[in-house]
Chain A
Amino acid sequence: MGRKLLLEHIDVPGINTFDVYRQQGGYRAVEKALKTMSPEDVVEEVKKSGLRGRGGAGFPTGMKWGFLAKPEGVPRYLVCNGDESEPGTFKDRYLMTHIPHILVEGMIVSSFALGANTSYIYIRGEMMPQIRIVEKAIAEAKAAGFLGKNILGTGYDLEIYVQPGGGAYICGEETALLESLEGKRGNPRIKPPFPAIAGLYGCPTVVNNVESIAATVPIINDGGEEYAKIGIERSTGTKLISASGNIIRPGVYEIDLGLPVEEFIYSDEYCGGIANSKKLKALVPGGSSVPILPANLISKTVNGNARLMTYESLADGGFATGSSMGSGGFIVFDEDQCIVRNTWNFARFYHHESCGQCSPCREGTGWMEKILHKIETGRGSIEDIDLLWDIQRRIEGNTICPLGDAAAWPVAAAIRHFRDEFEWHITHPQEALSRNYGLAHYADPIEPVV
């Protein structure tokens, strides 16, 4: 049974209101932090917890906070990244819809730790209903004295505002998000300087994902050491996993990090197995950017170890035979799904979402989309596969922000693991139009590398 730290009270009626959330022990972390701890103490607890950024990069949150510059007389900002747009990821929407107060509570605790007196929650514009829900939660918290001037008589002042995005995946990249929050196009900035030195309005700024900020609440309530007891190695605590695709029970699940991937897919407590009695073909475990895994690399790593839901185990084998935790966008493919079509779909996504600043990404994502579409529609040649490989290789690492990498990785992984499916599309164009390649040998056990 997974421990529930964030979703503990998800089934309590009215938990989206201040009163019910408070009755369930809500805002204790604010009382504890503001009344009994110094900002440095709060940062220390988050460092001890081992919490890693839940947006996708997995960078230790406490360390990120530690980098924040604190020049005299310059305001500091906390900006929450609620621009959830990574295909396969819908956990932040879920959290904000059902338990908005845990985000507001986490914002207060985190802002206090960073010495911010104005904080912004940037939520993607399409989530208008969630924007209203979070705005209402902020108003309720303010009416109860947990926001505004002199919070709980401690002398600490804080205002939180919600900022809507305009519909752009790139604004999930933290410097693009800051540009957008300043009322500009979401073009990522060249780093350095990092936001911790010069972020919003040129001031020191921390940008954290919704789930990361919410996680500070149980960390402060129970202590960082207690949080770090959950999980394995450097994957501590619980994680929200967004499960989608061809499974019986899609949805958002809070798991203890360290859960076996096989159990997550087949247990009735989580995904419940593959829908319609089909077989498992492939898995994208961390959102569309991370490498796709064929069936034989899902339950076990190439060395034969059980594959676990941890940052380390999902990445075991590097990009050759592993993948990445990413944002926890867990997309399951059954035997009927076409890898070429899906890769084309993702390539189209990245082409559409490229901001256009860097040529390798602006041009390369478009080329990849065109070539993949050509292969998918039966007009490809064998040379196109090598060309695709060449293009993705020239995008990766050659752009200002990671969108270029995010576009390159899924194409590279699809070719690496499913090259025969691409070749079949090219050699059997008519057949490829009417049916899918199926499972082939992907489920066969592979020889361990000794």
Chain B
Amino acid sequence: MLSVKENHPVEFSAELLDKFAEVASRYPQGKQKSALLPLLHLVQAEYGWLSTDAMDKVAHFLQIEPIEVYEVATFYTMYFLRPQGKYNLEICRTGPCCLVGAERIMQYIEETLGVKEGEVTADGLFSWRGVECLAACGYGPVLQIGPDYTFYENLTEQSVAQLIETLKNKVQTEA
């Protein structure tokens, strides 16, 4: 298991660096720092989280100081500074979703996965957390799973159980 204290060295692929360059070309000359948020999304989609080494290499690419990357990565809630489960279930916990049962769904997920919010299951497959409003209040309760941020709406205990089963089976088929 990786720890946030360990440096986790990464080597960006040529393909990823090409994507970096395309994103950086969207901004005027000298304003490449604007690419920081999209680049961090690309890195996280590749590795599942942002290690210190990955952030340092993004800083190097954009020719900014590493601290400029850290301060952004720690400000926004979507960036993970430690590894998550392969499937990280993010359930909306804000008012409108709670009016239609989001708290019950979160409790069900905690019981079904057997881990507390923010923890990863022993097999490394799942983690979960409550997140703030996902702008899908009419379809609540809702959850999303990165890095594609696939959306699951109108959740019930049955549909959540089915989703978890499907994801487990998917992993077994892939293996």
Partner of B149, one of A87, A90, A126, A242: A126
Chain B contact patch, size range? 35 or more
Q: How far is the CA of A92 from the CA of B28 in the complex (A)?
A: 28
Which of A38-46, A164-172, A220-228 lines the interface with chain B?
Answer: A164-172
Interface bin, chain A: 35 or more
| Residues of chain B within 8 A of A331, CB atoms compared | 95-96, 99, 137
In whole angstroms, what is the CA distance A390 to B38 when docked? 41
Flag whether A127 is at the interface (Cβ < 8 A): yes
The answer to whether the Cβ of A185 comes within 8 Å of any Cβ in the partner chain is yes
Residue of B nearest to A94 (CB): B138
Interface flag for B33 (CB, 8 Å): yes
Q: Known interface pairs A161-B26, A201-B31. Does A125 touch B78 (Cβ–Cβ under 8 Å)?
A: yes
Least CB separation from B64: chain A residue? A183
Closest-CB distance, B22 to chain A (whole angstroms):
11
Q: How would residues 118 to 130 of chain B score, 1 for a CB under 8 Å from any chain A CB and 0 otherwise?
A: 0000000000000
In the complex the two chains form, is B31's CB within 8 Å of A182's CB? Answer: yes
Interface check A78, CB cutoff 8 A: no
Given A168-B77, A349-B95, check contact A86 B34 (CB 8 Å): no
| Contact, CB under 8 Å: A129 / B148 | yes
Do B38 and A164 have beta carbons less than 8 Å apart? Answer: yes
Please provide the chain B residues from 23 to 59 with a CB less than 8 Å away from any CB of chain A in the complex: 26, 28, 31, 33-38, 40-41
> Is A183's CB under 8 angstroms from B35's CB?
yes
Nearest B-chain residue to A341, judged by Cβ: B98
For A93, the chain B residues whose CB sits under 8 A away are 135-136
Q: Is A333 an interface residue (CB 8 A)?
A: yes
Contacts of A355 in B (CB 8 A): 75
- Residue numbers in A under 8 Å from B131 (CB-CB): 126, 167
Please name all residues of chain A whose beta carbon is closer than 8 Å to the beta carbon of B149 when the two chains form the complex: 126-129
Q: Evaluate contact between A124 and B150: CB separation under 8 angstroms.
A: no
Q: Residues of A contacting B65 with CB < 8 Å?
A: none
Tell me whether B94 and A125 are in contact (CB under 8 A). Answer: no
Q: Are A242 and B137 in contact (CB under 8 A)?
A: yes
- B75 adjacent to A345 (CB under 8 Å): no
Contact across chains for B138 and A353 when beta carbons are under 8 A apart: no
Known pairs A86-B133, A128-B148; A166 contacts B138 (CB<8 A): no
Report the Cα distance A126→B144, complex, angstroms. Answer: 8
- Complex Cα distance, B33 from A261, in Å, reads 46
CB-CB contacts below 8 Å: B120-172 with A: 131-140, 144, 146-151
Decide: A345 and B37 in contact? CB cutoff 8 A: no
Report chain A residues within 8 Å CB of B76. Answer: 125, 165-168, 186
CA distance A213 to B36 in the complex (A): 26
Residues of A within 8 A of B93 (CB): 345
Report A136-147 CB contacts with B as 1/0, cut-off 8 Å.
000000000000
B135 touches A84 (CB 8 A): yes
Q: Say if the beta carbon of B115 comes within 8 Å of chain A.
A: no
A169 close to B133 (CB less than 8 A): yes
Taken together as a complex, chains A and B put the C-alpha atoms of A75 and B29 apart, in Å, by: 13
**Which residue from chain A places its CB closest to the CB of B146 in the assembled complex?**
A128
A:201-243 near B, CB below 8 Å: 201, 242-243
A124-B135, A167-B77 given; name 15 further pairs at CB < 8 Å. A87-B133, A90-B135, A92-B135, A125-B76, A166-B75, A167-B79, A167-B131, A168-B76, A182-B34, A185-B72, A186-B75, A250-B138, A288-B133, A329-B96, A346-B95
Could you give 16 example pairs across A and B, Cβ below 8 Å?
A85-B133, A85-B135, A88-B133, A90-B138, A126-B144, A126-B149, A129-B148, A163-B34, A167-B76, A180-B37, A242-B138, A244-B137, A250-B139, A331-B95, A342-B95, A349-B94
Residues of B within 8 A of A (CB): 26, 28, 31, 33-38, 40-41, 62, 64, 68, 71-72, 75-79, 93-96, 98-100, 131-140, 144, 146-151
Which are the 7 A-B pairs with shortest beta-carbon distances? A166-B76, A167-B78, A183-B36, A244-B137, A183-B33, A250-B138, A167-B77
